[in-house]
Amino acid sequence: MCFFAARFRPAQVFGIVALYVIAFGATCVNADERGFLGMQVQGNSPKIAAAMGIDTAIGVLVRDISVDGPAATAGIARGDIILSLHGVTLDTFERLVQVAGELRAGDEIDVLVLRLGKKIKLKMAVSGWPDGWQIEKSAFAAQPDLGLTFAALTPKLRKHLGIRWGSVGIVVSVFNDMFAGVTPLRRGDVVLQVNQQRVWQPQQFLDAYAKAKEQGRPSLLLLVERNDGFKYILQPIVSEPIGGPAPPAFKLPGQQGG
């Protein structure tokens, strides 16, 4: 029996708990086989249905879409109500859990959505998990030139820092105020891209920084997500480090040193 099928119950599954199934796929198969749909959903309700002029509170409401994920490629949008998945009517969240648990990478499925009062049929190609969504173990790396420590976004760290579901990148976990003049980054910033390349491990940033320094480039172009949205910023390459102690490793509350 799959992990989510064994653990989830209707009372738990009605809301946020069920998002795990759609976002990350089943856990009872090999990692290479698990299906990834790339969308975040929440349950429908009589009040939501009434607000949208729908007679019956069936289906699930799409809250967010993973960029370039299967759902986005299929044409699913925020606000869509998914009525059926793979030919199965989603009358309960248990049904959603069951259908999602049977999906595998490479499956071609039919999706029926309700959008602005119209039913739309879509085709979706289920993919495997992207590398950036498979971060299960903590990974940290310090960049002494900038006084920064970066951390990979594990589910636990994402929850602790309140980082948006669809954000895939590395987070600035430690910032040394001494270096405020050499970096525009601050603690809590999520770096999504470095010179147009997606990043999800701290070492990727360090490698890109070292390469730019070796090539004599003046800066790196970063795509950063903050509380107020997305922003492109330039990270200067420091030719002469300021000095001072390296930033300490970030630890979650209760985490032991090592």
* Per-residue model confidence (pLDDT) at position 178: 87
Task: Tell me the average pLDDT across 220-231.
Answer: 94
Task: Tell me the average pLDDT across 130-146.
Answer: 81
- The Cα 70–Cα 76 span in angstroms is 9
* Same domain as 170, residue 84: no
More confident residue, 174 or 7: 174
pLDDT band at 138 (very low <50, low <70, confident <90, very high): confident
Residue 104 has pLDDT above 50, yes or no: yes
* Same domain as 207, residue 113: no
Instruction: Give the count of domains, the chain.
Output: 2
* Per-residue model confidence (pLDDT) at position 31: 52
DSSP 121-152: EEEEE-BPPPGGG---S--EEEETTTTEEEEE
* Same domain as 112, residue 37: yes
- The Cα 71–Cα 252 span in angstroms is 33
* Same domain as 228, residue 174: yes
What global pTM score does this model have? 0.68
Question: Which CATH number characterizes residue 84's domain?
Answer: 2.30.42.10
- The Cα 62–Cα 252 span in angstroms is 31
Question: Which CATH number characterizes residue 231's domain?
Answer: 2.30.42.60
250 within domain boundaries: no
What residue numbers bound the domain in which 8 lies? Answer: 3-129
* Same domain as 119, residue 64: yes
- The Cα 79–Cα 64 span in angstroms is 8
The last residue of one of the domains, among 97, 129, 161, is 129
166-177 per-position pLDDT tens digit: 888 999 988 888
* Per-residue model confidence (pLDDT) at position 201: 93
96 within domain boundaries: yes
More confident residue, 251 or 231: 231
241 within domain boundaries: no
pLDDT band at 248 (very low <50, low <70, confident <90, very high): low
242 within domain boundaries: no
62-78 per-position pLDDT tens digit: 998 888 889 999 999 99
* Same domain as 145, residue 107: no
* Per-residue model confidence (pLDDT) at position 195: 96
* Per-residue model confidence (pLDDT) at position 7: 32
256 Rama class: left (phi>0) / alpha (psi -120 to 50) / beta: beta
